[in-house]
Amino acid sequence: MKRQKSVFLILVLLFVLTSCGRGDTYELELPPVTPSPTPLIIDEPELEDYEIAHESSIPLDEAARFIRIMQDVFDEDGGALWGIDLSAPFMFVDPVTRHAVANRPDNQGNLVRQGDVYVGILSDRQRIGNTIAHFGGVLWGMALWTNSEEHNDSDMVRIMIHEVFHVKQEVLIVGTPQGTGLDFFSDSARTRTLIRLELGALLRAITSETETERLSAITDALSIRNERVQRGRLTREDREMEIHEGTAYYTDLMLGFNNLDERIHAIEELAENISRLTATYIFGALYGFLLDDFSVNWKYGIRYTTNLGDLLQEAAGIEELIPFEELNLEAYGYTEIVSQETERAEISATRRRSTRESFAEQPVLRISGMGDFSDYNFEILFMPDLGMIYYGNIVFTNIAGTLKVHDGPFLLQGMEYEIPVKDITIEESRAFGHNWELELNDGFEMVEDNTGDFIVRRIGG
């Protein structure tokens, strides 16, 4: 189950990774709300006629198997969940080689048919990740392929469903999202406390055995949500993300699992490190589950401006919310949550100070190019003077090699990554320091530049 939790954190992180840089604004990079282009009728080249530098690094039989599983899920749904067939263009991409395996051709002949799939190589300029992306005149749902020995079928298919649903959002959801700010990554103790209280009330509502208990918990959740609004901790951006990411998460949970217990377990795992951003995934799904329980057609005409809390209040017939100070917050662990969040805030403040000092006083190691977090245990710190910081235990892999960081900061700036290096030892294809280690792939080297920092580059380049 550890893998189940990690893949959806990767989903969140890579959505950010593809669009953030120092001082940039994080925006939902969605295309205009128009249908995907109609495929052109083209002669598909056979593989032997196609010049490809390497055999695909993605096992084609395995990729085809996952694509078939995803299509079987959509066929079984038959359009019941959202009123339309959710099938859409999809591709796997290897983040190291940028090899792609897709379920259909593109409109410009870049992908070549081999068996039941289509293969090709994406350029270095092509945006990749667990995301949606335009390629060859087509809008694709995209998932990163990591060449681990074992792929968990449920986890992989849920990622695929999630990203394919983002393709369908342009015809299911009215309007265009305006985007969010980087303040999503600077949660205060108070914000996190309110989020965790709302989560507790929603989970109680979902799992209540009686209608009276459920209605009481829903009222509590909406009253806590109202307190977030009053304190400026639930804004347009939060509601927009509950629609954008929350409906996608709702969909992958509904189609990826067979029962509520499995769905709640997945939510509880993601919520172990809940933040303001991941809360939008979770709340979007939970409000969707509760609206389904009231048998309201909440999906029809849904907009990016829709407030799921308001829909639930109307569906449940709740006329008046409870003032926050009158709620029985101890029912949701208020005292313990406040203690935990106060301690967490103190730890984060210490990490911010040490990170700022490290980058100011030490040389940095800089690596460029899209990559993948294959294993990690860290928190996200947004520091306006630096950028997006991942702090903790990190394993990051890209075309140049694998970087491991233990209990330290990792800075993201667009497609460049930096760590402070207090000390350094270089041994041919390996370099290491007091809390990090870098294993270089063939053809790459680590060198000191003219500023005293260290860079990873192609040998001779």
Lowest mean pLDDT among 133-137, 311-315, 321-325, 410-414: 410-414
Q: Confidence band (pLDDT; 50, 70, 90) for 324? A: very high
Q: What would the pLDDT profile of 336-351 be if each residue is shown by its tens digit? A: 999 999 999 999 999 9
Q: What would the pLDDT profile of 240-271 be if each residue is shown by its tens digit? A: 999 999 999 999 999 999 999 999 999 999 99
Query: What rounded mean pLDDT belongs to the chain?
Result: 86
Q: What would the pLDDT profile of 267-289 be if each residue is shown by its tens digit? A: 999 999 899 999 999 999 999 99
Q: What is the mean pLDDT of residues 422-440?
A: 92
Lowest mean pLDDT among 36-40, 72-76, 316-320, 439-443: 36-40
> d(Cα 288, Cα 309) in Å, to the nearest integer?
10
Question: Given a cut of 80, is residue 5 above it in pLDDT?
Answer: no
Question: Given a cut of 60, is residue 13 above it in pLDDT?
Answer: no
The C-alpha angle with vertex 378 and arms to 372 and 379, in degrees rounded to 5, equals 110
For the chain, give the percent of residues with pLDDT over 90: 70
